[in-house]
Structure 1
């Protein structure tokens, strides 16, 4: 099984990779958070409005205009609950586990770290450091893309993810 995650989902995917389960054939981290990289902080997104978050998340935020006033009260409540849950998981303003980088050094699965070149939540050098933390990990920079390539440039991201997963599918030797 190929494990793929973006942002905090990438952190979860990285954690799964550290388990070294034989059920996992590859791990793909897309603009993942979860480690501390000196000089490359993770933006504190919890206090941002959706419009401010969009400016940090997309290469071209004008293509992803968001009008929070158009949301229903139920949708706003769900977004607030999701944010509160993320804060519990990630800790207050850290979005990192101080033990993860050390544990990544023991990952034995083929790992790809894909990163939007225009990500302002976590910059590309943070992504490079993530890739360096995992033995033999590949790093792919996605031009014209921010923090959420699955939304912004799926035509660029999906072939990278599929090709990597296919190349490392269970039963296939690692090149």
Structure 2
């Protein structure tokens, strides 16, 4: 893993594939890291430049100076791509919060987006796991985030997957490492409270963002796991209503992260779309 300096912050990223190939950008969810996309790098980099990153203030990246909002994160990702010399239109793939950030990126700079793949994405309903709603209670959120350890981290990881075997020692260790970063708790709380509260995900930003995304009519793929405990599968119906021209796929027996839990099937789903909508694909 390597770092690049963006607006005086060290941003961690991982890159695979030919730098001249069409670019794919992979974005993780709230409190997470680029490891959530590790299974897709080898599967997608044969024909693409694949970039995953720890969004500002998450993973092992430093935060930006301003308060963490959806617009702040979107701008931070665009600035990171600029720092990496990637100014071509990109294929955006976002999981959970990363899906909402991807949609904000599209609205902010539609000419730089080729396609949109939203994976169990935030933005399509107020329902969210009770653990996230608890963070909105004054004083409670910081205490909970400060107690991610060998006991609590496995329980958090288990909520992300349908299959318990996905909760590996490596994933638990990474979750604890991320939680011990100085920017973790304040950034987590800032974006969680910006997007919702104890009653769930706030409607205002969703009702403003989704129509603006839909107007651009970018090729869009909606992906969900039918056993998601974080953002329920009912949100897929709302996503299809918001984007009626989008393609969609539901993974059975799968939790919040199909890209990890069904890596081969996920890659098999998205690769033909990447090829279909890529320009400048290298001759092989």
Q: Give the alignment's TM-score, normalised by structure 1.
A: 0.78
Paired position in structure 1 for 2:91: 2
* 2:219 aligned with 1:117: no
Kindly report which structure 2 residues correspond to 1:136-147, keeping only aligned pairs within 5 A, or say none: 136-147=245-256
Structure having the larger proportion of residues in strand: 2
**What CA distance in whole angstroms lies between the structure 1 residues aligned with 2:258 and 2:175?**
26
Paired position in structure 1 for 2:9: none
Gaps (5+ residues) in structure 2?
1-89, 135-143, 145-151
Query: Looking at CA atoms only, which structure, 1 or 2, has the larger radius of gyration?
Result: 2
Kindly report which structure 2 residues correspond to 1:91-170, keeping only aligned pairs within 5 A, or say none: 91=193, 92-93=196-197, 94-96=200-202, 97-98=205-206, 99-170=208-279
- 2:162 pairs with one of 59, 63, 87: 59
* 2:106 aligned with 1:17: yes
**What CA distance in whole angstroms lies between the structure 1 residues aligned with 2:256 and 2:176?**
27
**8 A Cα contact 1:106 1:135, kept in partner:** no
**What CA distance in whole angstroms lies between the structure 2 residues aligned with 1:16 and 1:2?**
11
Count of aligned pairs between the two proteins = 168
User: Higher RCO, 1 or 2 (CA under 8 Å, sep at least 6)?
Assistant: 1
SS at match of 2:254: coil
Paired position in structure 1 for 2:128: 42
* 2:188 aligned with 1:86: yes
**8 A Cα contact 1:45 1:53, kept in partner:** no
Relative distance call for 1:84 and 1:155 in structure 2 (3 A) is: farther
Q: For 1:6-43, what per-residue CA distance to the aligned partner results, in whole angstroms no more than 9, with x for missing partners?
A: 11111111222334623311100111112435xxx011
**8 A Cα contact 2:93 2:99, kept in partner:** yes
Q: For 1:60-112, what per-residue CA distance to the aligned partner results, in whole angstroms no more than 9, with x for missing partners?
A: 1243145999679865412x743531331232534452322332331310000
**What CA distance in whole angstroms lies between the structure 1 residues aligned with 2:168 and 2:104?**
33
